[in-house]
Amino acid sequence: MKIGELATRAGCLVETVRFYEREGLLPPPDRTENNYRNYRQEHADRLGFIRHCRSLDMALGEIRTLLDLRDRPDQDCGTVNALLDRHIASVSQRIASLTALQGQLQHLRSQCSSTDATRSCAIMAALDAA
C-alpha cells in the first residue's frame, strides 16, 4: 500500500508516517520500480501500535522500548510493567500540577465578578502584581 493509504488507515497524516520512519519507529518500506514507498500489513500493525501508545501520551523513547520488546516476544514483561509504572507516576504528577494550576486560576478568577473597565479589574491588578 502507498503512504497515503497507510496514513488514512492509521488516522494520521502522511508526514506523521514519515516522521516515525525518520525516528526509526517504522522500518523503511520496500520501494516500487518508480521509487514509491510500498508498505505492508506489518507496517500498518506497527503504526497502529505506535498510535495507540501516543494516545496514551507515551513519549517516543517509551514507545521505542515497547517496540523493541514487541519485536522480541519471548522477553520477560517486567520491563513493560516498570515502564508503565513510571508513566503512571508521571501522569499522576502532571495531574497534581494541573490541579494546583486550576486552583490558582479559580482563585484569580474569583477576584473579579464585574464587567467594569480593565483598569479597575482585580484580575488584571493581580497579574500586574506578579
Q: Cα separations (Å) of 94 from 11, 76, 101, 103?
A: 27, 29, 10, 14
Q: What is the pLDDT of residue 78?
A: 96
pLDDT along the chain (130 residues), means of 10: 95 96 95 91 97 97 97 94 98 98 95 84 89
As given in the structure block, the three cell numbers for residue 111 are: 477576584
User: Hey, what CATH class is 1-75 in?
Assistant: mainly alpha
- Return the pLDDT at 82: 97
Instruction: List, as one string, the DSSP characters of 57-73.
Output: T--HHHHHHHHHHHHST
What's the pLDDT at 116? 79
Angstrom distance (rounded) from CA 3 to CA 7: 6
Give the type of residue at 115.
T
Query: pTM for the whole thing?
Result: 0.82
Per the structure block, which three cell numbers stand in for 10? 492509521
